[in-house]
Amino acid sequence: MIVELVSTGTELLLGQIINTNAPFLATRLNELGFSVIYQTTVGDNRDRMKLVLKTALERADLVITTGGLGPTQGDITKEVTASLLGKTMYLDEASAKQIEQYFATRRTCMPSNNLRQAMMPEGARIVENTCGTAPGVIIEDEATGKIIINLPGPPHECSAMFETSIVPYLSERFGFQGAIVSRVLRTYGLGESALEERIKHYILSQSNPTIALLARSGEIHVRITAQAASEPKALQMIHDLESQIRPLLGEHVFGIDEDTIEMSVGKLLLEKKLSAALAESCTGGLVTSRITDVPGSSRYLTGSIVCYSNTVKMEQVGVAEEILAEKGAVSRETAEGMAQGIREKFCAGVGIGITGIAGPDGATADKPVGLVYIAIDGPAGTNCYEHYFTGARTDIKNRTALAALSHLRHYLLTI
Q: Are 17 and 67 in contact (CB under 8 A)?
A: no
Model confidence pLDDT, tens digit, residues 106-135: 888 999 899 999 999 999 999 999 999 999
Answer whether residue 1 shows pLDDT above 90: no
Residue 123 DSSP class: T
**Which pLDDT score is estimated for 217?**
87
> CA 116, 120, 121, 123: dihedral to nearest 10 degrees?
-170
Instruction: Estimate the share of the chain in helix, then strand, then coil, as percent rounded to the nearest 5.
Output: 45, 25, 30
**370 confidence band (pLDDT: 50, 70, 90):** very high
Run of H or E residues at 407: helix 393-414
| Cβ-based burial of 59 (10 A; exposed 0-12, middle 13-18, buried ≥19) | exposed
**Which pLDDT score is estimated for 176?**
83
What whole-number percentage of the chain has pLDDT above 90? 95
Nearest to 110 by CA among 98, 127, 121: 98
Model confidence pLDDT, tens digit, residues 219-268: 999 999 999 999 999 999 999 999 999 999 999 999 999 999 999 999 99
What whole-number percentage of the chain has pLDDT above 70? 100
* Domains 2-174 and 179-256 belong to one CATH topology: no
CATH of 2-174, one of 1.10.3720.10, 3.40.980.10, 3.40.50.1820, 3.30.70.20: 3.40.980.10
For the domain 179-256, what is the CATH code? 3.30.70.2860
| Nearest-angstrom CA–CA distance, 387 and 81 | 55
Model confidence pLDDT, tens digit, residues 151-167: 999 999 999 999 999 99
What residue type is assigned to position 21 of the chain? N
pTM (predicted TM-score): 0.80
Domain 261-414 grouped into CATH 3.30.460.10: no
Delimit the domains of the chain by residue range: 2-174, 179-256, 261-414
